[in-house]
């Protein structure tokens, strides 16, 4: 496996780049090993990355590459099934199961230009009722009812649950880093995650080699509606980020790392200090592309309101306090055709998100 030996990566671009267009590669090894001073250093590095571009790579994260490889293999195996078998676990009203092409259509403002349907499909799971992870024994509250699993696919369920557990464990270990990045006590996020029922979603995406037409994408420009997202690196690049100057630039694929980004929940908590960056997927490789993002959010009843380190007399709170449940439902009906009946509650006083992906 190719080793990552750089600490800063310029993304592929068609425009001149600035220092803020650099995705840093952060070494989590010293922090996970408990080295003195590692938490403070890492918190500062994460803070800088999320203020500048909203993304960073992590290496030495502790998740076995062999497990990541098995999940990619299961992703390809599932999406190679006949359509009828995949549709036997078609996505339900909670967003769990197989999502065929045409059901993802992000639109955050009414005046955004119309786009053609995305070319892509995906399979979603939440925490498994019989998972080995913390608080096992019941599904996530927001996704009551549990997961849907295809029949006669040995090893598929077991591999995905193993990966979900590994990613949840990594997410929880990073909570002190995010608290430190915001200048908060290291246990600030414990009540929202460790002492309650946080939500996780694992998505197995398939973007076929079919070229996108004009104004069409494999995944339309969007933000993530969670707290933190982890993207394991595939062999085929295709993710593009929008910089603060509204330039689209392609992120490289660095073997053995995760690409991590802040979701909208973290942006709201930080009063806009941490960026929830618009990103999109365009598969220009001429071959199928697979992705396995893991999304992690606090307990649905957690109230998201500006933290004290991110507001003062000159910087008052910009957003309406909302619960994670209210925001997640609002976000879902803005993004997914099959979840349009979940109005939720917007955190924006104007209703729509002030900026768009246009």
Q: pLDDT tens digits for 116-147?
A: 788 899 999 999 875 545 554 555 555 555 89
Band of the pLDDT at 349, cuts 50, 70, 90? low
- Nearest to 205, CA basis, from 100, 297, 308: 100
Q: Is the pLDDT of residue 228 over 50?
A: yes
Instruction: Report which of residues 241 and 330 the model is more confident about.
Output: 241
Q: Is the pLDDT of residue 19 over 60?
A: no
Q: pLDDT tens digits for 60-98?
A: 999 999 999 999 999 999 999 999 999 999 998 888 999
Q: Identify the pLDDT of residue 6.
A: 40
Total Cβ atoms within 10 A of residue 92 = 15
Q: Identify the pLDDT of residue 246.
A: 86
Q: Identify the pLDDT of residue 180.
A: 98
**pTM (2 d.p.):** 0.89
Instruction: Report which of residues 173 and 135 the model is more confident about.
Output: 173
219 three-state secondary structure: strand
Domain segments of the chain as ranges: 8-310
The residue-averaged pLDDT of 158-176 equals 97
The residue-averaged pLDDT of 18-45 equals 91
The residue-averaged pLDDT of 332-343 equals 64
User: What homologous superfamily does CATH list for 8-310?
Assistant: B-lactam Antibiotic, Isopenicillin N Synthase; Chain (2.60.120.330)
Instruction: Report which of residues 138 and 295 the model is more confident about.
Output: 295
How many residues appear in the chain? 358
Q: For the chain, give the mean pLDDT.
A: 85
Tokens of 199: 């939500």
Tell me if 123 sits within 8 A of 99, measured CB to CB.
yes
């Amino acid at each position: 496996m190719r080793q990552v030996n750089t600490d800063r990566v310029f993304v592929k671009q068609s425009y001149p780049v600035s220092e803020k267009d650099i995705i840093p590669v952060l070494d989590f090894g010293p922090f996970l090993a408990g080295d003195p001073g590692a938490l403070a250093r890492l918190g500062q590095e994460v803070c800088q990355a999320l203020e500048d571009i909203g993304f960073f790579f992590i290496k030495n994260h502790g998740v076995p590459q062999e497990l990541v490889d098995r999940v990619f293999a299961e992703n390809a195996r599932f999406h190679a099934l006949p359509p009828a078998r995949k549709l036997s676990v078609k996505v339900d009203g909670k967003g769990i199961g197989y999502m065929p092409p045409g059901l993802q259509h992000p639109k955050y403002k009414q005046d955004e230009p119309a786009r053609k349907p995305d070319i892509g499909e995906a399979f979603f799971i939440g925490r498994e009722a019989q998972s080995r992870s913390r608080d096992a024994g019941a599904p996530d509250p927001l996704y009551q009812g549990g997961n849907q699993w295809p029949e006669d696919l040995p090893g598929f369920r077991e591999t995905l649950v193993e990966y979900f557990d590994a990613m949840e464990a990594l997410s929880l270990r990073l909570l002190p880093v995010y608290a430190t990045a915001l200048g908060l006590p290291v246990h600030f996020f414990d009540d929202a995650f460790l002492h309650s029922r946080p939500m996780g979603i694992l998505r197995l995406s398939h973007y076929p080699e079919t070229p996108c037409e004009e104004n069409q994408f494999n995944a339309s420009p969007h933000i993530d509606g969670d707290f933190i997202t982890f993207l394991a690196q595939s062999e085929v690049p295709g993710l593009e980020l929008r910089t603060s100057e509204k330039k689209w630039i392609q992120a490289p694929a660095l073997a053995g790392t995760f690409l991590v980004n802040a979701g909208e929940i973290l942006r709201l908590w930080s009063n806009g200090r941490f960026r929830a960056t618009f990103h999109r997927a365009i598969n220009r490789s001429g071959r199928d592309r697979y992705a396995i993002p893991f999304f992690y959010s606090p307990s649905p009843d957690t109230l998201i309101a500006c933290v004290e380190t991110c507001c003062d007399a000159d910087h008052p709170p910009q957003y309406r306090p909302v619960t994670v449940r209210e925001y997640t439902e609002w976000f879902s009906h803005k993004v997914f055709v099959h979840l349009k009946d979940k109005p939720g509650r917007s955190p924006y006083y104007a209703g729509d998100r002030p900026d768009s992906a246009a």
